[in-house]
Amino acid sequence: MRQIILETETTGLNARSGDRIIEIGCVELVNRRLTGNNLHFYVNPERDSDPGALAVHGLTTEFLSDKPKFAEIANELRDFVKDAELIIHNAPFDIGFLEAEFALLGLPSFKDHCGEVIDTLVRAKSMFPGKRNSLDALCDRFGISNAHRTLHGALLDSELLAEVYLAMTRGQESLVIDMIGEAAANEANGTKRVKLDTLDLVVLTATDDELAAHEALLDGLDKSIKGTSVWRTQPAADNASESADAQIA
């Protein structure tokens, strides 16, 4: 699975009123592993940044004056993201600017070239409702150091977002993806690839002693709450398959 973490910096907040992209940073993940195959551009927007935006990114008109215009980097950007899944924090903002830039050049929609777009801001709001979910806040929440981030920068933000995304999605699903990635790497090194769908998973059933200990624990819970604990109110699995799934999990 190829994913691209993408971030932009812009001259302002509104692409429809003429604000332009001034920096693009892309970080590549393949099977949830950073590859080091990144893409980064500073872009000459042919206009000044709004004072508020300049205070955020610090990229002056003078600094950007000798950088390539968007038309000069559009093809390389398009080829880099081709068919990849994009991961963006507040995706409508970045996608809106990219669509505007492509439209100015008379090119097909930017989203025609990539796969699904994952918005980490939407995911974060779902995971942490009512809390701050900026990139800085998420770095703090997941213990990711961003001490070197004094100004916003597209490549640095992409690298931080990659770590945040991996932390947000770490779990059983990522374990399976990591196993797939490891199998692919082994195949590339000449090792025979294991087909995960052919594996027979061992199901370990509880012993009589373990079942008795479990019942004793539930009895203690019932006594402590002077009622019936939630573990006794959940319906038992309807079939052997569900039981196996529960034991594996």
Catalytic residue list: 152
Q: Half-sphere exposure of 97 toward its Cβ, with a 13 Å CA cutoff? A: 23
Cα–Cα distance measured from residue 55 to residue 68, given in angstroms and rounded to the nearest whole number: 22
Q: Which two tokens stand for residue 34?
A: 């950073």
Among 30, 162, 22, CA closest to 89: 162
Cα–Cα distance measured from residue 241 to residue 73, given in angstroms and rounded to the nearest whole number: 53
Cα–Cα distance measured from residue 198 to residue 181, given in angstroms and rounded to the nearest whole number: 17
Helices (H) and strands (E) in the chain, counts: 11, 6
Q: Are 159 and 200 in contact (CB under 8 A)?
A: no
